[in-house]
Amino acid sequence: MKWAIFGKLVGQVPITLLPEYALNYLDKYLKFEASEAGNYWPKRADFSDWLRPNYQANTVYDTCSQHAIWQYVLRDQDAFKALSAALTTLARPLYEPVFTALIDLDG
């Protein structure tokens, strides 16, 4: 039932969660968990590519929060807050099986 509700919700509310950042978050989260250092919380520095474009390029790619599509989705939200909220709540249930499969393939 919870997945049906989730499916209905994502059809109505855009989620700020890119696969690349979800997998990076899981990597850091699981390393912290394994080392028993506590929980990992996203930091702005970890997602600087998302927050602002590369200063050496004149192009803003769609993987940056400054892109017109993301500006439309985010509206007046803080880009980091939107990303970190999605990471901490959705990355594990949506991407942990993919992350585990990729680690198993990597050896």
d(CA 79, CA 100): 27
- Nearest CA among 60, 77, 97 for reference residue 14: 77
- Is residue 11 scored above 80 in pLDDT? no
Q: What are the domain boundaries of the chain?
A: 16-106
> What percentage of the chain carries pLDDT values higher than 70?
86
- Is residue 18 scored above 90 in pLDDT? no
The set of long-range contacts for 37-43, using a CB threshold of 8 Å and a minimum separation of 24, is 41/84, 41/88, 42/80, 42/83, 42/84, 42/87, 42/88
| Residue 80 banded pLDDT, cuts 50, 70, 90 | very high
Tell me how many degrees the CA angle 69-54-10 measures, rounded to the nearest 5. 30
- Is residue 106 scored above 80 in pLDDT? no
- Is residue 75 scored above 70 in pLDDT? yes
- Is residue 107 scored above 80 in pLDDT? no
Residue 91 phi, psi (nearest 5): -60, -45
Q: Which residue in the block uniquely carries the two structure tokens 């600087």?
A: 48
pLDDT at 78: 92
